[in-house]
Structure 1
Amino acid sequence: MNSDQVATALDGAVAYVSQGLGSGIGWGCYSDWGVTAVFGEDSGLVAVAIDAMDGPLVRLRDVELIARVPSEVRSDIHDLARREGALVRVNWSGDPEVEAWGVSMGTALELGSSPEGYMQRQDTMITGALFVGPELAADPYGAEPVIRWWDVRDLDPNAGKWPVKAEQERQRWDWTPLESIGPLRFGMSPSQVAAALNEEPAARHGRYPYGEPWEGPGEWILHDDRFDTAGVTAHYSCGRGHPPVLGAVTVHGRTGPQVEFDGIRLIGWPVSAVDAALTRYIEDREVGLVIGCGGDLGPDGLNMYVRATRAGDTAVSEARFCSAEWEDHG
């Protein structure tokens, strides 16, 4: 099917977010249906992603795949695979993937309605899925053209385990808004960050310049360092003639140190509880509420965002602390 045929099959649906539709390789997100369609070089459909929250329910034999508890779906997939002699492996997100069926499972944070009628984050994960044809089934997320829609190569892979450090095992870090978090001060170089944490990064992510003049020559640009022992990720800003300096720090929800804001514990707690506490704080003091790109909440003027990270079937809170100049994009 080409993109026109997909739109017709979806009752004339419009791809509200798209890239390259009708011109060969491309993709379109049909948000009214909760479906993303990915097209190959001949503009033919090669993959379909079903959104966990808004997508249609999909059944494989007797297994319902979408909008369910991840561990329950994983168990059902393994049972079906045993009956059919299919091999189940773990994909980049720690979820089941079966080449014989062309399916790669995933998850998303569940959203619900507040008593006032607006959307709010829940503490549960629910399942979505990517379906591909046989030519992409050996490596669905690693294959063209899927990586043009969603490139996961720079994301940290998960082996299917989400251990959460107990509260009493976590360090306690102080936070001075817009200036520092724990031993890290905004403006530090990557070597200073590693020295302050007494740890070398477990992973480094970056990119090469896109060729724009302001980026200068083609040297690799460091974006972030992940420190597994400390349980944090350091994010760097840089520009032409300016080496990378610390601009933000994400404290990991499952493993990072505890950080408090006016008595509110920000790390490793149910997301809905932290959101509710922040909302009460903001209402009591009549300050502004900032909502980040991923629905992350934070008090206005502090450049701090409470995020959600997966912990198996549930989600726990983590937070990103930023310098005054840092523009957070999720």
Structure 2
Amino acid sequence: MSWWNRKPQEERARWVLEPLLGVGPLRFGMDPEQVQAALGGADASVSQTSGGRLSWQLYPDVGVTAIYGHGPRLVAVAVDPWCGPLVRLGDVELIARVPSEVRADIRGLARSAGVSVRSNWSGDAEVAAWGLSMGAAQDWGPPSEEATRKDRVITDALLVGSELAEDPYATAPVTNWYDVREARPNPGASPLLPQERPYWAWTPSAGVGPLRFGMTVNQVSAALGREAPAVRRGWNLWAGRGAGTWDLREEQFDGAGVTAHYWSPEGAPTLAAVTVDGRTGPQVKWDGIKLIGRPVSKVDTEVIRHIEERGLEWVVHCDGGPGPDELNMYIRATRTGDNLVSGARFFAPDWEDRG
């Protein structure tokens, strides 16, 4: 599902979670035809297979993703925060709420039931006894208005049957849908105020701070004081029947508060983009506008106004962030607990942003 398909809450279905058994009209163990029938004949807009077997199906009109194990049989249901059904467990509403409030309500319900609550990969509430794993996503203004990002996140949920309940995100049916090894956890509140950050200069289409597009991996490391990346991401490129090679795509530098994105148009990977983290990254200005570590809605408004005052065009990128067309920059949002602060991505011409 996507933020642009969001629905008013009064138009959303209301479902009840029956722990480890099912949610709303869906029951774990259903085959795809039974799932579709239970959803009133809704069509799946996307289906994904793995190893020749159906892995998951997205139902955008309903706002859920059905995740399948062997059979295929339904083993998990992901509920979208913007258009999915409003799911209730006991007297606790789970979806499209402030995460800390939902966590407090879940803890209260868990105490009365004598079950334990833990934190999952994203720092949100998870209860194995109920097959419940909470998550969160960017909140938006009403669908009747122009797309506007709010300064908070709202809850979504992954609901699973008994076979996945002990560790929902660690098993193949779920990892085929969403591999959290490629995601960033919720680290909590931002440790730096905007005025406490070092300043980096930005030259559109050329680079930001000490980083210049076209740098090699070693040059990026040297420019950042030889800091070792906390995370390196990429994928295998297979060559015929050979073993292939691993293609580096990004390195995350937690000390500097930036992520370096690479591409390989001529062989070895070179720097193509830099994402400045909203929590810990350096401050970057655009004509006096502080872009980093501030409420997202304020930065969005200031950036759009400045673009229009300069007679430029502005575009919305894949995660909903605005930026000046042809200057190769846009505003991103970084989660800080229940809230969001602004980050930014700067990139070279012709680089394909993958989100």
Give TM class, smaller chain: over 0.9
- Identify the residue that residue 257 of structure 2 maps to in structure 1: 231
- Identify the residue that residue 221 of structure 2 maps to in structure 1: 194
Matching residue within 297, 300, 317 for 2:322? 297
- Identify the residue that residue 207 of structure 1 maps to in structure 2: 235
Deviation at 1:289, TM superposition (A): 1.4
- Identify the residue that residue 47 of structure 1 maps to in structure 2: 76
Matching residue within 48, 51, 69 for 1:19? 48
Matched, 1:90 2:115: no
- Identify the residue that residue 151 of structure 1 maps to in structure 2: 179
Deviation at 1:207, TM superposition (A): 2.0
The residue type equivalent to 2:250 in the other structure is D
Matching residue within 265, 268, 275 for 2:293? 268
> Is the CA contact 1:25–1:145 (under 8 Å) kept in the aligned structure 2?
no
SS at match of 2:222: helix
- Identify the residue that residue 335 of structure 2 maps to in structure 1: 310
The residue type equivalent to 1:53 in the other structure is W
- Write the deviation string for residues 294-330 of structure 1: whole angstroms up to 9, x where unpaired: 1121101011121111111111111110011311111
The residue type equivalent to 1:229 in the other structure is G
Pairwise mapping of residues 92-111 of structure 1 onto structure 2 (< 5 A)? 92-111=121-140
Q: Please list every run of 5 or more consecutive structure 1 residues that lacks an aligned counterpart in the other structure.
A: none
Deviation at 1:193, TM superposition (A): 1.0
Matched, 1:63 2:92: yes
Matched, 1:126 2:151: no
Separation in structure 1 between the aligned mates of residue 37 and residue 262 of structure 2, nearest angstrom: 45
Separation in structure 2 between the aligned mates of residue 48 and residue 218 of structure 1, nearest angstrom: 35
- Identify the residue that residue 6 of structure 1 maps to in structure 2: 35
- Write the deviation string for residues 258-310 of structure 1: whole angstroms up to 9, x where unpaired: 10112221111111111111221222233211221111211010111211111
Pairwise mapping of residues 273-292 of structure 1 onto structure 2 (< 5 A)? 273-292=298-317
- Write the deviation string for residues 91-122 of structure 1: whole angstroms up to 9, x where unpaired: 111111111100100001111148x8322111
- TM-score of the aligned structures, taking structure 1 as reference length: 0.93
Task: Check 1:113–1:83 CA distance in 2 against 1; reply closer, same or farther (3 A cut).
Answer: closer
Deviation at 1:217, TM superposition (A): 6.0
Matched, 1:140 2:165: no
Matched, 1:174 2:214: no
SS at match of 2:136: strand
Deviation at 1:182, TM superposition (A): 0.2
Separation in structure 2 between the aligned mates of residue 319 and residue 60 of structure 1, nearest angstrom: 38
Deviation at 1:156, TM superposition (A): 3.3
Deviation at 1:149, TM superposition (A): 1.1
- Identify the residue that residue 270 of structure 2 maps to in structure 1: 245
> Is the CA contact 2:292–2:341 (under 8 Å) kept in the aligned structure 1?
yes
> Is the CA contact 2:315–2:323 (under 8 Å) kept in the aligned structure 1?
yes
SS at match of 2:182: coil
Matching residue within 109, 118, 141 for 1:112? 141
Separation in structure 1 between the aligned mates of residue 279 and residue 53 of structure 2, nearest angstrom: 41
State percent identity of aligned pairs. Answer: 55
The residue type equivalent to 1:230 in the other structure is A
Task: Check 1:24–1:310 CA distance in 2 against 1; reply closer, same or farther (3 A cut).
Answer: same
Q: What root-mean-square deviation, in Å, do the aligned CA atoms of Structure 1 and Structure 2 show?
A: 1.9
Separation in structure 2 between the aligned mates of residue 70 and residue 49 of structure 1, nearest angstrom: 16
Separation in structure 2 between the aligned mates of residue 121 and residue 281 of structure 1, nearest angstrom: 18
Task: Give the 4+ runs in structure 1 shifted more than 3 A.
Answer: none
- Write the deviation string for residues 226-284 of structure 1: whole angstroms up to 9, x where unpaired: 11111101111125x61111110000001101101122211111111111112212222
Separation in structure 2 between the aligned mates of residue 227 and residue 219 of structure 1, nearest angstrom: 23
> Is the CA contact 2:295–2:340 (under 8 Å) kept in the aligned structure 1?
yes
